[in-house]
Amino acid sequence: MDKFISADSSVMKVRSLFREACKGDVFVCDDEYIFQTAKTALVAEKVTGVTVQLLDTSGYVIKQVSSKLRTEQKRNEQFNDRQLAVISALEKVLAHCKKEGIQLIGFSDELVAQQLTWI
């Protein structure tokens, strides 16, 4: 059963709700400010397995956040957020190398690169 967080709830009230929450609990609210407050409180309380949803006037979920441990992320199916950040940074570095005329040849223990020759 969903638990409603009213728009007049204080930060302390929201944090208290999360401290008493069980894994699988879903908290809903219909106010953007309370949703942002709940997200912050969820992180501060370090509660896992809890979902917070922001509903529109028709009762549809327009935003949702769930808490989970990093170890709960699916292995081998997708990259985790840290791996994605590293991949993104590497793509930027390689684009910058190309712009500066450096070609990555390969790497093992050390990086091997050479200057590009323009034809």
- Residues 63, 15 share a domain: yes
Tell me the pTM: 0.58
pLDDT attached to residue 103: 81
Domain boundary among 52, 69, 86: 69
Q: What is the domain extent for residue 45?
A: 3-69
- Residues 13, 45 share a domain: yes
User: For 18-29, how does the pLDDT look when each residue is reduced to its tens digit (9 = 90+)?
Assistant: 989 888 899 999
pLDDT attached to residue 75: 58
Q: 24, 1 in Cβ contact below 8 A?
A: no
pLDDT attached to residue 13: 92
Q: Which residues neighbour 72 within 8 Å (Cβ) at sequence distance 6 or greater?
A: 48
- Residues 7, 55 share a domain: yes
- Residues 50, 23 share a domain: yes
Residues of the chain with pLDDT under 70: 1, 71-77, 108-109, 111-113, 117-119
- Residues 82, 49 share a domain: no
- What is the count of structural domains for the chain? 2
One-character DSSP codes across 35-64: HHHHHHHHHHHT--S-EEEEE-TTS-EEEE
- Residues 92, 56 share a domain: no
